[in-house]
């Protein structure tokens, strides 16, 4: 597979701000100094600003719509999510491939097709199971004995095993594609419309405006859009501060931080990014004095544990008074605000006594 190599090239920068190449500085060579200074002034870490559209009122959505900018944010740190793709924004390529009727088109990811195939197989499998249940009930209704039932069950078990084994061998042959007609799918030229936008989580947008100058919106303007400034008080700003502090903490230590909602937590931590590693850690952010009923923790932990990931409870602790923090906020001194919270972490893991005896 060439993909490995092209991925490491495609995703070689972990952040959308790229380092500059400065020439080597040789202490004994004044010429190299001059050249260095020239390069320093000429070069820059800045990038072309990414344009965001912010929609919604009470609930805000932050969207990037320009295709090259969507790809740029994905490639340089895996920011945002394609609204029609749940991950990398590939809807346009996928759909184009579908329309072309070319299942093996190289632009669509085969993974998604495989997933679909799997689902189809699964539903066939389920149908069999239903049929078997029916057989069993019939046997019982007809006054079958325990022994007869045991025989039937054994037969069914064998059948299912064979069926499972037969599946997966004839992959990618299932074909029935249902199509749909919607005028909005195509633009006036008759080409497929770019319907998909890349959505940034609010914390991502803050990171890309407050911490790194990437978006074409200032942090102050962004916050004014995200928060209710008419009723500004600690309680209106705190929930977002809490989320951002945690997000920034992990981002700044090199993790690729993505939404954890599908695992019922706040964030997923990837080393490098989704194409390289599975997420190993799930982060749930809490106040340092927050607690819930045990079932709250146990359900998150079971979802996370079921996916073989480690659950981290990240407790955000306030180091300054609420009043001080609101004042800093009103001065737009976000740096001081975010520095006024400390993160404290614990690993939360189910412990099974039987597995810890030696």
Q: Is 309 a known active-site residue?
A: yes
d(CA 100, CA 80): 28
Binding pattern to another protein, positions 259-298, x when CB under 8 A? x-xxxx-x----xx-xxxxxxxx----xxxxxxxxxxxxx
Q: Is 253 a known active-site residue?
A: no
Question: What are the structure tokens assigned to 64, written together?
Answer: 């990037």
**Is the distance from CB of 267 to CB of 257 less than 8 angstroms?**
yes
Choosing from 30, 101, 143, 190, the residue that interacts with another protein (CB under 8 A) is 143
Name the segment binding another protein (CB under 8 A); options: 66-74, 123-131, 159-167, 322-330: 123-131
Cα-Cα-Cα-Cα dihedral of 153, 156, 158, 163, to 10°?
Answer: -160
Q: Is 270 a known active-site residue?
A: yes
Query: If binding is defined by CB under 8 A, does position 250 make contact with another protein?
Result: yes
Binding residues for another protein restricted to 97-116, rule: CB under 8 A: 109, 111-112, 115
Query: If binding is defined by CB under 8 A, does position 220 make contact with another protein?
Result: no
Query: If binding is defined by CB under 8 A, does position 50 make contact with another protein?
Result: no
Largest CA distance in the chain: 101
Question: What are the structure tokens assigned to 302, written together?
Answer: 């079971």
Question: What are the structure tokens assigned to 310, written together?
Answer: 């480690």
Q: What is the DSSP letter of 31?
A: H
Instruction: Please identify, using beta-carbon distances, which residue of 29 and 252 lies nearer to another protein.
Output: 252
Q: Which of 72, 250, 270, 315 is catalytic?
A: 270
Query: If binding is defined by CB under 8 A, does position 81 make contact with another protein?
Result: yes
- Give every CB contact of residue 164 below 8 A, 6+ residues apart in sequence: 125
Q: Which of 248, 309, 315, 318 is catalytic?
A: 309
Query: If binding is defined by CB under 8 A, does position 7 make contact with another protein?
Result: yes
Question: What are the structure tokens assigned to 301, written together?
Answer: 């932990």
d(CA 121, CA 137): 25
d(CA 146, CA 57): 64
Binding residues for another protein restricted to 153-212, rule: CB under 8 A: 153, 176, 178-180, 182, 184-185, 193, 195, 198-203, 210-212
DSSP assignment string, 3-28:
HHHHHHHHT--SSSSPPP-PPP--TT
First to last CA, the chain: 43
Number of residues that bind another protein (CB under 8 A): 170
DSSP assignment string, 89-104:
--HHHHHHHHHTT-TT
Binding residues for another protein restricted to 299-328, rule: CB under 8 A: 299-303, 305-308, 310, 312-313, 315, 317, 319
Instruction: Please identify, using beta-carbon distances, which residue of 102 and 148 lies nearer to another protein.
Output: 148
Instruction: Please identify, using beta-carbon distances, which residue of 150 and 166 lies nearer to another protein.
Output: 150
**Is the distance from CB of 63 to CB of 52 less than 8 angstroms?**
yes
Q: How far is the CB of 159 from another protein (least distance, A)?
A: 15
Q: Which of 278, 294, 315, 348 is catalytic?
A: 278
Q: How far is the CB of 110 from another protein (least distance, A)?
A: 10
d(CA 245, CA 219): 15
Choosing from 90, 222, 325, 326, the residue that interacts with another protein (CB under 8 A) is 90
Instruction: Please identify, using beta-carbon distances, which residue of 28 and 357 lies nearer to another protein.
Output: 357
Instruction: Please identify, using beta-carbon distances, which residue of 21 and 323 lies nearer to another protein.
Output: 21
Query: If binding is defined by CB under 8 A, does position 59 make contact with another protein?
Result: yes
Q: Catalytic site residues?
A: 270, 278, 309
């Amino acid at each position: 597979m060439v993909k490995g190599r092209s991925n490491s090239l495609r995703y070689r920068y972990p952040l959308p701000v790229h380092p500059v190449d400065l020439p080597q500085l040789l202490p004994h060579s004044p010429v190299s100094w001059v050249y260095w200074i020239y390069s320093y002034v000429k070069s820059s870490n800045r990038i072309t600003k990414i344009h965001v559209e912010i929609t919604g009122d009470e609930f805000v959505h932050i969207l990037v719509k320009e295709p090259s900018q969507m790809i740029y944010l994905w490639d340089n740190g895996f920011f945002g999510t394609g609204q029609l793709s749940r991950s990398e924004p590939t809807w346009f390529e996928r759909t184009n491939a579908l329309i072309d009727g070319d299942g093996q088109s190289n632009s669509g990811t085969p993974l998604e097709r495989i997933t679909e195939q799997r689902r189809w197989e699964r539903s066939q499998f389920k149908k069999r199971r239903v049929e078997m249940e029916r057989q069993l009930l019939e046997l019982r209704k007809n006054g079958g004995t325990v022994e007869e039932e045991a025989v039937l069950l054994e037969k069914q078990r064998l059948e299912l095993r064979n069926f499972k084994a037969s599946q997966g061998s004839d992959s990618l042959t299932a074909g029935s594609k249902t199509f749909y007609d919607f005028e909005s799918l195509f633009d006036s030229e008759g080409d497929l419309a770019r319907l998909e936008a890349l959505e940034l989580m609010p914390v991502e947008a803050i990171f890309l405006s407050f911490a790194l100058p990437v978006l074409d919106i200032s942090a102050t303007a962004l916050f004014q859009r995200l928060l209710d400034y008419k009723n500004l008080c600690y309680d209106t700003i705190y929930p977002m501060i809490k989320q951002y502090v945690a997000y920034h903490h992990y981002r700044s230590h090199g993790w690729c931080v993505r939404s954890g909602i599908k695992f019922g937590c706040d964030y997923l931590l990837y080393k490098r990014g989704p194409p390289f590693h599975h997420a190993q850690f799930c982060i749930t952010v809490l106040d340092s004095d927050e607690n819930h009923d045990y079932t709250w923790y146990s359900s998150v932990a079971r979802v996370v544990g079921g996916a073989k990931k480690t659950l981290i409870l990240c407790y955000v602790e306030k180091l300054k008074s609420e009043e001080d923090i609101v004042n800093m906020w009103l001065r737009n001194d976000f740096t001081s605000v975010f520095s006024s919270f400390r993160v404290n972490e614990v690993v939360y893991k189910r412990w099974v006594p039987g597995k810890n005896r030696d």
